[in-house]
Chains A and B, each alone.
Chain A
Amino acid sequence: MLSCKDVSAIVASGELQQASTWRRINITFHLMMCQTCRHFVDQVRDIRQASRRLVDDEKAPGLSKEAKQRITEQLQKPTSNHGE
């Protein structure tokens, strides 16, 4: 029988996909009986979705126009001693 601690470890460490069938069956049983773990799993899913958007979401705030302009100018400079 898996404990809540075990279930949280498997879910939070992202190992659920790699878990054996037997393990997954055990987790499913645990979740049927344990509301707190169900809520935990739901919230981890929301957190994961939001996390993937932090960097890749094109709608999230990015560089300001001024910063982009400044960087473009720096990139166009023929000789540059920036960076390294």
Chain B
Amino acid sequence: MQDPHFAIDWLEQHGDALYRYALLQCRDKEQAAELVQETLLAGMEAYGRFKQTSQMRSWLIGILKHKLFDHFRRQGKFASLPEDDDELAAFFDNSGHWQQSIAAMASPEGDLQQRQFSAVLETCLEKLPWKMRQVFIASEVLAEESEKICQDLSISTTNLWKLRQRSMLQLRACIQKHWSRS
């Protein structure tokens, strides 16, 4: 057993970030807090294997992600879905033009609006199909390297590219529908 002071420091410094990541993935506050606890306990056990070259927060998020992905795997979420190339037809016509023009949207300004915008983003993120959501969280929220994302989700680079495009198109449309500055 390692010195718990390490883990208590981690809780102080990274607990909230771990919790927000867990909550983004499981949408259940109790379960998210539980996952943070499990992650810190596992981190204490595994601390000897931590390499100083990586960031503590990314390392802990990696442990948390393992736990989440085990759970997802048991739910069969990784099973590959049939490729659906018609999806883009909802957005573009045959010549590659937008089906519908996009109106300007006011950017969120100040803390309050940013918080409201984040809430809309989270709601819309929840509506995405699982794989798109994972791709979005990994690439845009955690800013992970493409190679790592492909490995974690067992997808090809081409697939990642497509999923990033689709998730962004769907999210943007959803956000514009729900976001108004007034």
Q: How many residues of A contact B (CB 8 A)?
A: 50
At the interface, is chain B mostly helix, strand, loop or mixed? helix
Q: In the assembled complex, which residues on chain B have CB atoms less than 8 Å from the CB atom of A6?
A: 96
Q: Which residues of A are in contact with B by a Cβ distance under 8 Å?
A: 3-6, 8-9, 11-15, 35-37, 39-40, 42-44, 46-48, 50-56, 58-64, 67-68, 70-72, 74-76, 78-80, 82-84
Q: In the assembled complex, which residues on chain B have CB atoms less than 8 Å from the CB atom of A48?
A: 140
Q: State the CA gap A80–B1 with chains docked (Å).
A: 9
A sample of 27 cross-chain residue pairs with beta-carbon separation below 8 angstroms, ordered by A number, consists of A8-B165, A9-B165, A12-B164, A12-B165, A13-B161, A15-B161, A36-B98, A37-B98, A39-B102, A43-B105, A43-B172, A46-B107, A47-B172, A47-B175, A50-B118, A51-B136, A51-B140, A54-B121, A55-B17, A60-B16, A62-B16, A63-B15, A68-B15, A71-B15, A71-B40, A72-B8, A75-B44
Whether A79 touches B24, Cβ cut-off 8 Å, given contacts A36-B102, A43-B102, A54-B121, is no
Q: How many residues of B contact A (CB 8 A)?
A: 61
Q: In the assembled complex, which residues on chain A have CB atoms less than 8 Å from the CB atom of B139?
A: 14
Q: State the CA gap A51–B42 with chains docked (Å).
A: 27
| Chain A min CB distance to B96 (Å) | 3
Whether A52 touches B140, Cβ cut-off 8 Å, given contacts A12-B165, A60-B20, is yes
Q: Which residues of B are in contact with A by a Cβ distance under 8 Å?
A: 1, 4, 7-8, 11, 15-17, 19-21, 24, 29, 33, 36-38, 40-42, 44-45, 61, 88, 91-92, 95-98, 101-105, 107-108, 111, 114-115, 117-118, 121-122, 136, 139-143, 160-161, 164-165, 167-169, 171-172, 175-176
